[in-house]
Chains A and B, each alone.
Chain A
Amino acid sequence: MPQLPSSTFLETRRPLLKAVLDLLGPQYDYISLLATDDAGLSFRSAPGETEIAEPLWVQRGLLFRAQRAGRIAELALNEPSETASGLAARVSDGIDVLFASNPAGTTYPSLPDEEARAEFHAPVEQDPFSADPATILDRLTAIRDRCLQVKTIASARTRADFVRVSRLFLSPHRELCQSYLWSQAYIFGVARRDALSKGSFRALSGRKGLEILDELENRTPSLLAELEELLGAVKIEPGEYEVILAPDIAGTLAHESFGHGVELDMFVKGRAKAAEYLGKAVASPLVTMYDGAAKIEHTGSFLFDDEGTLASEVAVIEKGIFRAGLADLLSAAALGLPATGNGRREAYDHKAYARMTNTYFAPGKDRLEDMIAKIRRGWLIDRLNSGMEDPKNWGIQLVALVGREILDGKLTGRVASPVICSGSVPEVLSAIDMVSGDFELSGSGACGKGHKEFAKVSSGGPYVKTRMRLG
């Protein structure tokens, strides 16, 4: 399979950028540069129109980070000067203004800058950037039209985004380069009967090219069936229930509870309840949870993070015991811990935070049908809408579009929508008493830190059975 080439922009400017760092090096205790050149294509087909645009992930720019006497400053720009000396002067002027404006700022231990040189260029099976856009639009339009043939479908649209990530990280002792492709594709449908409208969707994602469209086409029948069910959906009676969380919901439980909950910048700020539980039981012994960009290939995977730390995999929870958090470089320095390759930025002009990559529960040994058979009165929760973290007080919120009723060990066919799931993180995780052998990851959409700073991640794993409050 051919490999994704390096960005021409980054390659042609690499010598100049290295020269800039050589000039800046003597002025600071630490200096580094992240150079980004991410390109993207977004194809959309809606009733009456098609569109070719760009996804929000497109960016090209330079981010300089400097440390002097322990303090940190960053300058982002995308109109670099033509000469190394000109750019170096502009950067040092800008950073010196920042240091002057922050005389009493936090001081950090010296940021590490060990030798590392590596390159990664991912293989591409079907490159969307060299395909005729008409073929992509035709396929998306065919899926759209297939949905619109159903009488109760008022509207349907399809979308496919492809992003080619190219990054270069330079420091006096590090030179790292990577390029890879990720994609996501959607079908959105709105069913309508009289004054009632209900929407749902199918989403796919991964480190793949046009082959994602083959999978999208296969999802249409189940979406149409679900939209019909949603027109007859009931409201859930509020209460605590036994629940089976589908992989996208379970993955979001992992993501919100012990993903966001153990981002170590929260520890630095005293915002993480998890800090009191290192080495202690936080979940049932059936629960093992990981986060990492290194071992799993999905939308959260990379060779190095946006601070030049090589990717790793962190065993966050092992058999119910909380083992380790996720560290960006500054949090790691503040806490005296190693960085874990979780320092990520929404774009070159954004701050780096401790962020997740691919977050998942490890699969177990149970079968979904046995999990359903164990439930006297409960729900199978599916089709994630959103989740929200609460690292300080360990609440959990998950919003799902589909709940399937289980009574006396059988699915009844009754559907509830939407389903607001809430609970206490330790209670929900400790109540996990069955974990299936399935494994699915979802990486569509984006992860926010609070309500901003969007990062591309994936989450998932198996089906898990637990107890939650539903309403």
Chain B
Amino acid sequence: MMLNTIKAALDSLALADWRITEVRRRGSETYFIKRRQDLCRAIEAVDYKVTLYVDGEERGRRVRGEATVSVHPTMEGAELTSILEKARFAATRIKNPSYTLPTPAPALIDFPLSAFSARPPVEWMEPLREALYRADGRDGALINSLELYLTAQEIHILNSRGLDVSWKGHRGYIEYVVEARGPEGSVELMDDCAFSEPDFDRLSAELAAHLALVRDRAVAQPLPTLAKLPLLVTGKAAEDLLEYFFLNAQASRVYTKASPYAIGAAVLGGEPCLENLELRAEAFLPGNPASTPFDADGIPLAPRPLIDQGRLVALSGPARYGAYLGLAPSGDFPLFSVAPGSASPEELRAAPHLETAMFSDFYVDPNSGDFGGELRLAYWFDGNRRLPVTGGSVSGNLVENFPCLRLSSRLCQGARASVPESMLLPWCSITGAE
């Protein structure tokens, strides 16, 4: 077995520690153009990542070096030995502060098997297709193309300190384009969605919602230049904005001072804010394929507040950064959540505003908090009417806006987080399309 082959090769090197991550994948993919199946694919693969650690001394202090290398299942004998020896040599060139690898600890959360486990991925393709296409063609909007992926994964992490953890998961993913015809011709919207359970109603609703959006885009007017209008950012863009805080609570950014945050300090300089910022690192969000019971070091994960009442209380990150910063290792979390805000969705939409629906690509700068993007679809509420608009762009700065922004009391589930479904920002620029 390859794991034993790798372990035996590692044991023959003079290492302080090692870690092996094995990921086995079996996947099915189907590609559709309109309703027609275009292409089918299958993947069977196993991937190994090996990290080698060596210890030393530099100017009287203990140091640790490490290097990570891919080991392919076809490697054996001289090739395997050579690649590991080169990685060991590379590790001796690293002189980072010393730290110890995690030792065995049980999972802290329940991590149930996905319902997808009942059948091989290829047998789920047709039921998923049926659910995704349920709303196709409704009121003239249709699915132009859709890519459907489902992968069954088995992850196994072991290290030289006796840590040995494994778990199974499924990653489903769709990327789709919807189109509709309007007075100016045909328009489209593109989006994607990841899932870990056969929640057919959720997937069907996702496509139905976007078919409704593209019908609106088909009749949308060019965005006028709107001065001094608050911006209501919704959905994925809201998640991207709130991820700014999660990224700056990463131990790697705090350690390297890319993030200005410090444990115990207010993340927004202590200025009073209309909304309390409560952000938590999450290991598991229902239906989210990024959920995991252990991080890449094998540290068991459990939900952990990172920002409480606007103050940084903990960091997320790999074991080494905890040691570098003198903190207990908390784990490297893939997901986060932000607590609901104080404003109902209706309250946020009561006064004139521009509500974003879909961007071409939403930009958020993790250093400055600047954000912006071109609008594929938005809704302009002028106090009386809610009009679909398209084109033009918006920009602003999250840090400047946060003291006065409002967060929705309703949550939504995104690709990486559970967050308020919208936020109202008072100070943004809106560039019209004409």
B48 to chain A, nearest CB (A): 10
Residue picked from A48, A104, A451, A471, most chain B C-beta under 10 Å: A471
Q: Known contacts A9-B79, A349-B45; can you find 14 more A-B pairs with CB under 8 A?
A: A49-B97, A52-B90, A76-B45, A78-B45, A78-B73, A79-B74, A80-B74, A101-B28, A106-B39, A195-B269, A199-B258, A199-B368, A418-B370, A420-B372
Whether A47 contacts B370 in the complex (CB less than 8 A), given A73-B39, A76-B43, comes out as: no
* A202 → B minimal CB distance (Å): 16
Closest CB pairs A-B (n = 8): A471-B431, A238-B431, A199-B367, A388-B361, A397-B374, A134-B93, A420-B372, A60-B72
A3 in the interface, Cβ–Cβ < 8 Å?
no
Complex Cα–Cα for A103 and B48 (A): 36
Cβ contact within 8 Å between B374 and A197: no
Q: Does B5 contact A (CB under 8 A)?
A: no
The verdict on B37 contacting chain A, using a C-beta distance below 8 Å, is yes
Among A101, A132, A157, A471, the residue within 8 A (CB) of B40 is A101
**B residues in contact (CB < 8 Å) with A:** 28-31, 33, 36-47, 66-70, 72-74, 79, 87, 89-91, 93-97, 122, 125, 144-145, 175, 177, 179, 186-188, 190, 192, 225, 252, 255-258, 260, 269, 320, 324, 360-361, 363, 365-368, 370, 372-374, 376, 391-395, 399, 429-433
The answer to whether A195 touches B430 (Cβ under 8 A) is: no
Q: Are A154's CB and B260's CB within 8 A? A: yes
A417 cross-chain contacts in B, Cβ below 8 A: 370
Q: How far is the CA of A374 from the CA of B276 in the complex (A)?
A: 51
* Cα of A101 to Cα of B148 in the assembled complex, Å: 14
- Give complex CA distance A268, B89 in Å: 51
Chain A residues, Cβ within 8 Å of B38: 105-106
Take A72-B39, A420-B363, A422-B391 as given contacts and tell me if A77 and B29 are in contact as well, using a CB distance cutoff of 8 Å.
no
Cα(A133)–Cα(B85), bound, Å? 13
Query: Are B179 and A76 interface neighbours, CB within 8 A?
Result: no
Partner of B429, one of A51, A52, A238: A238
* A392-B186, A418-B370, A420-B393 known; A77+B41 contact, CB < 8 A: no
Contact residues, A451-471 vs B (CB, 8 A): 451-452, 469-471
B36, B42, B177: residue with the most chain A Cβ atoms closer than 10 Å: B42
A368 to chain B minimum Cβ distance, whole angstroms, is 26
Contact B393 A197, beta carbon cutoff 8 Å: no
Q: Are A47 and B256 in contact (CB-based, < 8 A)? A: yes
B431 touches A392 (CB 8 A): no
A 117-167 contacts with B by CB, 8 A: 132-134, 137, 154-155, 157
Are the C-beta atoms of B45 and A393 separated by less than 8 Å? no
Chain B residue, CB-CB nearest to A198: B368
Whether A351 is near chain B, meaning CB under 8 Å from some CB there, is: yes
17 contacts between A and B (CB under 8 A): A52-B67, A53-B67, A73-B42, A75-B41, A97-B122, A101-B40, A104-B36, A133-B89, A137-B93, A192-B260, A195-B260, A197-B368, A351-B39, A392-B188, A418-B365, A420-B431, A422-B374
Within 8 A of B (CB), among A18-76: 46-54, 58, 60-61, 72-76
Supposing A50-B96, A395-B374, A471-B372 touch, asked if A190 and B37 sit within 8 A by C-beta, the answer is: no
- List A contacts of B74 (CB < 8 A): 9, 60, 78-80
Task: Find chain B residues with CB under 8 A from A98 CB.
Answer: 40-42, 122
A196 touches B79 (CB 8 A): no
Give the residue name and chain of the B residue nearest to A49 (CB). Answer: B96
A269 touches B429 (CB 8 A): no
Interchain CB contact under 8 A, B36 and A397: no
Chain A, residue nearest B120 (CB): A97
Contacts of B67 in A (CB 8 A): 52-53
CB distance from B374 to the nearest CB of A (A): 4
A470 to B393, CA, bound (A): 8
The answer to whether B41 and A74 touch across the interface, beta carbons within 8 angstroms, is yes
- When the two chains form their complex, are residues B177 and A54 in contact, meaning their CB atoms are under 8 A apart? no
Considering residues B66, B179, B372, which has the most beta carbons from chain A within 10 angstroms of its beta carbon? B372
Q: How many residues of A contact B (CB 8 A)?
A: 78
Residue of A nearest to B41 (CB): A74
Structural contact, A199 and B365, CB atoms closer than 8 A: yes
A 382-397 to B, binary, CB cutoff 8 A, 1 in contact else 0: 0001111010110111
Q: How many angstroms between the C-alpha atoms of A80 and B353 in the bound complex?
A: 58
A202 to B70 CA separation, bound complex (whole angstroms): 28
Which one, B43, B79, B373, contacts A397 given CB within 8 A? B373
Q: Which residues of B contact A137 (CB under 8 A)?
A: 93-94
Which A-chain residue is minimally distant from B126 (CB atoms)? Answer: A101
A414 at the interface (CB under 8 A from B): no
* B142 to A: closest C-beta gap in Å: 11
* A221, CB-defined interface residue at 8 Å: no
Of all chain A residues, which has the CB nearest B252?
A46
Chain B residues with CB under 8 A of A422: 374, 391-393, 431, 433
Q: Are A76 and B41 in contact (CB under 8 A)?
A: yes
Asked if B367 contacts A198 (CB within 8 A), the reply is: yes
A9→B42 CA distance, assembly (Å): 23
CB-CB nearest in chain A for B427: A235
The interface centre, meaning the residue of A9, A396, A418 with most chain B CB atoms within 10 A of its CB, is: A418
Residue of B nearest to A99 (CB): B40
Interface string of A254-286 (1 = CB under 8 A from B): 000000000000001111000000000000000
Choose from B91, B93, B95, B96 the contact partner of A132 (Cβ within 8 Å).
B93
Contact B44 A388, beta carbon cutoff 8 Å: no
> From A197, which residue of chain B is reached at the shortest CB distance?
B367
A15 at the B interface (CB under 8 A): no
In Å, the complex CA distance between A395 and B377 comes to 12
Q: How far is the CA of A349 from the CA of B149 in the complex (A)?
A: 12
Partner pick for B257 among A47, A388, A470, CB 8 A cutoff: A47
Please tell me which one of the listed residues A50, A53, A155, A469 contacts residue B68 in the complex, with CB atoms under 8 A apart: A53
* Chain B residues near A330 (CB-CB < 8 A): 39
Name the contact of A101 in the complex, choosing from B46, B69, B122, B186 (C-beta under 8 A). Answer: B122
